[in-house]
Amino acid sequence: MKTFFNLIQEVQKPGLCHRCGGCVTFCTAVNYGALELDKGGAPKYLEIEKCIECGLCYSICPVIDELEEEVKRKLAWSSPMGRVMETTVARARDERIRARATDGGVITALLVHLFDTGKIDGAIVARPTGRFQRSPSLATGREQILEAAGFYFDTSQGMNQINDRYLTYSTIEEFAPMMQKGLRRVALVGTPCQIQSVRRMEALEIIPSDSIKFCFGLFCSGNFIFGDAQRKKLSENHDIDWDTVKKINVKDTFRVHDKEGKIREVPLSDLDFMKRHACRYCMDYASEYADISFGGIGSDEGWTTVITRTPLGRAVFADARNKSVEEFPVADNANYASQALSTTRVASNEKKQNARKQLKTQGSKGVNVVS
């Protein structure tokens, strides 16, 4: 039986930990103080002697493949990029959502639609907490969902306490307040690694993973760290004045929108120095285990590429179609959706190839455990 000690050796020490929060959130002995998250969101022993060595944390880690085949069977996963039931290019119908959205605001529109129609009690999202900062949050109301839309910069807050934990879209550590509030119908918006962790919990039928009714996955090129040094280098290399920046977006390039409406594009390869180390080994670009996957790549500004992957995801989108979301007119470009899917597949394949190259050169390291 492998335990958290093995996770440290096989995942944390080599730099593969995605900080999804699953191992700590679902630790059998967490209430007894065995594990905790540090200030940067990394899991660690709080009191090693309290670990009962059940192995649960090891099994649900998205880096560990013990449950991979079972999860793939349950989701009818297929190569090369997971199950694809339908692809479309869409945007929110509500102009207020679109004005704040990073792309077309489809995720926010669907969450609001699910909430307004009584299909969810809440959503695990990430809300802005300052410039370059996003903090995991359990939204239990319409306004809280709307507040989490987009990636805008709040110039009223300082730049202190910046780390890569705040750049993750949401984390499953928000399961704790979900349980405390007794919510049984929750939507999760997450990156591929977070969706993978939840799917492993579902495979093991771990409570309260059954409370997550919808998994909305984000296309993910990687989690980028905007510390002082990283911002300075990016500014010097690409003449970016951060005081004039309104929002940022990742499509096929890194796009910086200023307050005057101008967009500066930076090749994603130029951001490698900012990428969190674990992201270099991740092969999932398009959230292949989600009910619906969303991203800006393949779509014009103001629109979102949407891939429905499960019957549940397809039903959610169908119910919101022409109510909360609108699709790009087929008459204007009949091949738009298929072109967006092709572009996404290219990005997915590129990420897989890069990850395989990195994994070939990645070696195991020793470990020292500090209780």
User: CA end-to-end span of the chain, whole Å?
Assistant: 20
Q: How confident is the model at residue 176 (pLDDT cuts 50, 70, 90)?
A: low
State yes or no: pLDDT of 353 exceeds 90: yes
Q: Write down the pTM of the prediction.
A: 0.86
Least confident interval from 74-88, 139-153, 354-368: 354-368
Query: Which of 18-32, 82-96, 303-317 is predicted least confidently?
Result: 18-32
Q: Are the CB atoms for 305 and 294 separated by under 8 Å?
A: yes
Question: CA-CA distance, 44 to 5, in Å (whole number)?
Answer: 10
Main-chain dihedrals φ then ψ at residue 24, nearest 5 degrees = -80, -45
Confidence bin at 36 (pLDDT 50/70/90)? confident
* C-alpha–C-alpha distance, residues 142 and 106, integer Å: 15
Please, where are the H alpha helices in the chain? Answer: 4-7, 22-25, 56-60, 68-75, 95-100, 106-116, 142-147, 175-181, 192-203, 228-238, 311-320, 336-361
Q: Is the confidence at residue 163, as pLDDT, over 60?
A: no
Q: Taken in order 28, 33, 34, 39, is the CA torsion positive or negative?
A: positive
Using CA atoms, how far apart are residues 50 and 371, in angstroms rounded to an integer? 10
What are the tokens at 182? 């007794």
Query: Is 104's pLDDT higher than 60?
Result: yes
Average pLDDT score over residue span 4-12: 93
Query: Which pLDDT value is given to residue 173?
Result: 57
Instruction: Work out the angle between the directed axes of helices 192-203 and 68-75 (0-180°, nearest 10).
Output: 90
Grade residue 167 by pLDDT with cuts at 50, 70 and 90. Answer: very low
For the stretch 289-299, pLDDT in tens is 999 999 999 99
Say yes or no to pLDDT of 161 above 90. no
pLDDT above 50: residue 158: no
Domains annotated for the chain, with CATH where assigned, are 4-66 (3.30.70.20), 72-361 (no CATH)
Tens of pLDDT, residue by residue over 105-120, are: 999 999 999 999 999 9
What are the C-alpha distances in Å from 334 to residues 324, 327, 330, 370? 22, 12, 5, 59
Q: In which band, very low, low, confident or very high, does the pLDDT at 366 lie, cut at 50, 70 and 90?
A: very low
d(CA 333, CA 321): 19
pLDDT at 275: 83
CA separation for the pair 220, 282 (Å, rounded):
10
Average pLDDT over residues 304-317: 98
